[in-house]
């Protein structure tokens, strides 16, 4: 047995006190005056020390109670066997995530790699070390399973060598996708500690982290690469031309120290001085005489990665919509009839609806599941396409099951009395943002006759953007590979809803086209596999590729915001490995065994017994007189 507070054992010396009390002298307690003895001198009574203890049982009870009390305060415990090897499964997996998005180009990435190397060198030799980079998605360089299979002596060297492969790209920062993908890749086999090396800028996406439940053994350690004090960053983004006038939007990060910048346009050597307050954006028109193709350069801030935007002029683009369902476009009871009439040319692009997969990636794929080719649909979406699946019946939901590998999740027909209506709609989402103006945001007038109810297992991989008045999901957005699948749980056939007969139908479809980066001559990095900003050839035309404007917001994200999302943030914790002992700390062992608590209970019982026995002995020594 060991003691957590052994100095309390000195209190055992107090056991001598009851023994001394039981050996005390018996002196008279009362004095009785006799009148016949009043003339005699006072003589103190002769007392003698008892040679033996009195009330032995009472003495034993008192000594035991006091001893138990002292032992309880000393906090005893039985130590576990030392140097017991921990099972291999207790070794931790460290997942090193390096942010390689556009905002990390240059010094931020160099500093992150330097910090990552230092962290890896400090980790225990027995722990597994996985490596990945991320921007718009996670790119695994060394997956956790392979990291665990390496010999302990090879793990650090392998991880350090793979860091040399981390190169910054031009993509946006999808922090939520990176963390969720890392947790999924690690699996539940061992404690997981994610080391996040990033600038943690406010422009990063976090939406998918809300409401997520995390494994108990997960800890996320932040290694932020914050900009230097007094930094300023502004970004320039080309906007669609209006009436042949070129326009740009300049956005100044909220944490910037400066507000004055210059713009220089191709074909115009004069620099234009502009002012944009921190946290604000402003639109500026190009001067007269700019060429049909060129770029605008922003100057005056500390970061150059987002200081150029290009433009080009080409023929009116043709937006191709792949609609694989073979129904006749003259059949007024089918979706195709209304789709062809809604997809009319606009001032920015013309529309072509095709029934066979186009040679180039379609701007939008629309199907009601009647004749969907799941293999072709998956390929289009994963390569960066956008698709809309309108569920014509419960069987159409099988497409979601196969695309996201969901088992035993059966959709059902909703029990609609008379009709349903739209209820909650996320007007901040890109799809419904064009309807955010109060003049256009009322969807309640659209009557829904039939719709399909998806179980939670089918809605879990996506984000619900709209619900019916019953609370059932109406519109769900699913990320899949590089693209997005939108699911509408009913259709616009007259048998299902009135949507096609309202003024919301065509704008909703054109919103999907716009969010797919099509139609208005503004394309972002990642369009059709193009991974750098600037002017590129696409078939017979030339297009200008833009940087995602969210990357310009370099204001550091407060750690409190991440904690508010429920992320299990922590300081670095080095897990015990097979080379370390699996013993618990003394305090943990004492707390678990609770021996001191039972000693306190025993002391209390003995004190109760002592009190009862002392009272009984007192009544026997002084019997009551009648």
Residue 254: the pLDDT is: 92
pLDDT band at 312 (very low <50, low <70, confident <90, very high): confident
pLDDT band at 596 (very low <50, low <70, confident <90, very high): confident
CATH assignment of the domain containing 120? 3.40.50.410
Query: Between vectors from CA 290 to CA 285 and to CA 296, what angle results, nearest 5°?
Result: 65
Q: Do 602 and 68 touch, CB atoms closer than 8 A?
A: yes
Q: Do 476 and 464 touch, CB atoms closer than 8 A?
A: yes
Q: How far is CA 113 from CA 71, 101, 243, 559, in A?
A: 54, 14, 47, 21
User: Is residue 359's pLDDT more than 70?
Assistant: no
DSSP 538: E
Domain that holds residue 164: 93-226+557-565
Same domain, 295 and 349: no
Residue 131: the pLDDT is: 97
Q: What is the pLDDT of residues 475-533, one digit of tens each?
A: 999 998 888 999 999 999 999 999 999 999 999 998 888 877 655 557 889 877 889 99
Q: Does 121 or 619 have the greater pLDDT score? A: 121
If you average pLDDT over residues 128-148, what whole number do you get?
A: 94
Same domain, 75 and 105: no
User: Is residue 415's pLDDT more than 90?
Assistant: yes
d(CA 121, CA 160): 9
DSSP 581: B
626 within some domain: no
d(CA 17, CA 548): 82
Of 150-154, 235-239, 434-438, where does mean pLDDT reach its minimum?
Answer: 434-438
**Residue 332 exposed, middle or buried by CB count within 10 Å (0-12, 13-18, 19+):** exposed
If you average pLDDT over residues 224-245, what whole number do you get?
A: 85
Residue 260: the pLDDT is: 96
**Which residue do the tokens 């922090």 mark?**
175
- Percent of the chain clearing pLDDT 70 (strictly above): 85
Residue 438: the pLDDT is: 86
If you average pLDDT over residues 576-592, what whole number do you get?
A: 53
585 within some domain: no
Same domain, 341 and 388: yes
If you average pLDDT over residues 367-381, what whole number do you get?
A: 82
Same domain, 475 and 403: yes
Residue 174: the pLDDT is: 93
Residue 428: the pLDDT is: 83
Q: Record the pTM.
A: 0.56
Same domain, 7 and 76: yes
If you average pLDDT over residues 282-303, what whole number do you get?
A: 91
User: Is residue 581's pLDDT more than 60?
Assistant: no
According to the per-residue pLDDT averaged within each range, which of 52-56, 100-104, 288-292 is highest? 100-104
Handedness of CA 135, 138, 141, 144 (dihedral sign): positive
571 within some domain: no
Same domain, 174 and 251: no
Residue 448: the pLDDT is: 95
Of 235-249, 418-432, 502-516, where does mean pLDDT reach its minimum?
Answer: 235-249
Number of compact structural domains in the chain: 4
Residue 49: the pLDDT is: 53
User: Is residue 354's pLDDT more than 80?
Assistant: yes
User: Is residue 40's pLDDT more than 60?
Assistant: yes
DSSP 472: -
d(CA 83, CA 88): 15
d(CA 300, CA 352): 44
Q: Does 369 or 466 have the greater pLDDT score? A: 466
Same domain, 393 and 350: yes
pLDDT band at 585 (very low <50, low <70, confident <90, very high): low
Same domain, 254 and 389: no
Same domain, 121 and 222: yes
Residue 485: the pLDDT is: 93
Residue 592: the pLDDT is: 74
Q: Does 617 or 367 have the greater pLDDT score? A: 367
User: Is residue 424's pLDDT more than 80?
Assistant: yes
d(CA 114, CA 320): 47
If you average pLDDT over residues 603-610, what whole number do you get?
A: 85
CATH assignment of the domain containing 458? 3.40.50.880
574 within some domain: no
Residue 26: the pLDDT is: 54
Of 252-256, 554-558, 598-602, where does mean pLDDT reach its minimum?
Answer: 598-602
CATH assignment of the domain containing 277? 2.60.40
CA dihedral (329, 332, 336, 338) in degrees, to 10, reads: 110
Helices (H), 323-369: 335-342
Sheet holding 534-538, edge to edge: 523-524, 541-546, 534-538
Work out the mean pLDDT of the chain and round it to a whole number.
Answer: 84
Q: What share of the chain is helix, strand, coil (3-state, %, to 5)?
A: 30, 25, 45
User: Is residue 29's pLDDT more than 70?
Assistant: no
Q: Do 286 and 264 touch, CB atoms closer than 8 A?
A: no
Same domain, 369 and 508: yes
581 within some domain: no
Same domain, 411 and 495: yes
Q: Does 569 or 514 have the greater pLDDT score? A: 569
589 within some domain: no
Q: How far is CA 502 from CA 186, 390, 508, 512, in A?
A: 48, 17, 11, 17
Q: Does 341 or 35 have the greater pLDDT score? A: 341
Residue 573: the pLDDT is: 42
Residue 361: the pLDDT is: 73
Range 372-408 burial, b when 16+ CB lie within 10 A, else e? beeeebbebbeebbbbbbbbbeeebbbbbbebbebee
501 within some domain: yes
Residue 85: the pLDDT is: 42
Same domain, 290 and 367: no
Residue 433: the pLDDT is: 87
Q: What is the pLDDT of residues 65-99, one digit of tens each?
A: 888 888 888 878 777 654 444 444 457 899 999 99
pLDDT band at 243 (very low <50, low <70, confident <90, very high): low
CA nearest to 497, candidates 445, 423, 439, 438: 445
587 within some domain: no
CA dihedral (359, 360, 365, 370) in degrees, to 10, reads: 10
């Amino acid at each position: 047995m060991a003691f957590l507070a052994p100095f309390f054992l000195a209190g055992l010396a107090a056991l001598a006190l009851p023994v001394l009390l039981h050996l005390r002298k018996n002196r008279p307690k009362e004095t009785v005056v006799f009148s016949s003895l009043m003339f005699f001198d006072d003589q103190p009574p002769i007392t003698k020390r008892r040679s033996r203890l009195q009330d032995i049982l009472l003495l034993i009870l008192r000594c035991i109670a006091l001893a138990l009390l002292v032992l309880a305060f000393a906090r005893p415990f039985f130590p576990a066997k030392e140097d017991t090897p921990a099972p291999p499964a207790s070794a931790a997996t460290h997942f090193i995530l390096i942010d390689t998005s556009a905002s990390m180009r240059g010094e931020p990435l160099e500093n992150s790699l330097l910090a990552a190397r230092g962290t890896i060198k400090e980790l225990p030799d027995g722990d597994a070390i996985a490596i990945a980079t991320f921007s718009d998605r996670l790119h695994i360089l060394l997956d956790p399973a392979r990291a665990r299979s390496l010999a302990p002596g090879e793990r650090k060297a392998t991880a350090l060598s793979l860091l040399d492969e981390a190169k910054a790209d031009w993509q946006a920062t999808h922090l939520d996708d990176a963390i969720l993908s890392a947790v999924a890749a690690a699996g539940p086999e061992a404690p997981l500690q994610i080391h996040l090396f990033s600038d943690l800028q406010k422009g990063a996406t976090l939406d998918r982290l809300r409401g997520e439940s995390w494994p108990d053994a997960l800890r996320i350690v932040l290694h932020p690469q914050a900009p230097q004090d007094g930094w300023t960053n502004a970004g320039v983004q080309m906007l669609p031309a209006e009436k042949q006038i070129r326009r740009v939007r300049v956005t100044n990060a909220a944490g910037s120290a400066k507000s004055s910048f210059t713009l220089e346009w191709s074909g115009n050597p004069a620099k234009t001085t502009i002012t944009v307050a921190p946290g604000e954006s402003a639109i500026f028109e190009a001067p007269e005489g700019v060429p049909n193709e060129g770029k605008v350069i922003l100057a005056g801030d500390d970061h150059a990665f987002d200081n150029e935007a290009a433009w080009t002029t080409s023929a009116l683009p043709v937006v191709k919509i792949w609609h694989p369902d073979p129904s006749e476009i003259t059949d007024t009871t089918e979706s195709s009839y209304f789709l062809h009439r809604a997809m009319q040319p606009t001032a920015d692009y013309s529309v072509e609806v095709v029934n066979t997969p186009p040679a180039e990636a379609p701007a939008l794929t629309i199907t009601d599941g009647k004749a969907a080719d799941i293999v072709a649909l998956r390929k289009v979406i994963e390569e960066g396409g956008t698709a809309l699946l309108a569920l014509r019946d419960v069987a159409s939901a099988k497409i979601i099951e196969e695309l996201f590998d969901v088992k035993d999740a059966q959709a059902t027909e909703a029990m609609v009395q008379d009709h349903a209506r739209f209820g909650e709609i996320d007007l901040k989402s890109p799809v419904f943002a064009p309807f955010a103006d109060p003049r256009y945001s009322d969807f309640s007038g659209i009557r829904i006759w039939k719709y399909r109810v998806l179980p939670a297992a089918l809605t879990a991989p996506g984000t619900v953007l709209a619900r019916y008045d019953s609370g059932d999901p109406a519109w769900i957005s699913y990320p899949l590979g590089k693209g997005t699948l939108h699911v509408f749980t009913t259709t616009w056939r007259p048998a299902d809803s009135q949507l096609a007969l309202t003024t919301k139908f065509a704008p909703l479809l054109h919103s999907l086209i716009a969010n797919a980066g099509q139609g208005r001559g503004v394309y972002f990095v990642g369009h059709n596999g193009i991974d750098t900003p600037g002017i590129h050839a696409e078939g017979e035309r030339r297009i200008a590729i833009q940087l995602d404007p969210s990357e310009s917001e370099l204001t550091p994200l407060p750690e409190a915001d991440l904690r508010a999302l429920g992320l299990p943030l922590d300081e670095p914790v080095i897990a015990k490995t097979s080379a370390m002992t699996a013993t618990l700390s003394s305090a943990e062992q004492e707390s678990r065994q609770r021996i001191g608590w039972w000693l306190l209970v025993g002391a209390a019982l003995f004190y109760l017994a002592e009190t009862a026995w002392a009272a009984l002995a007192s009544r026997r020594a002084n019997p009551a007189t009648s």
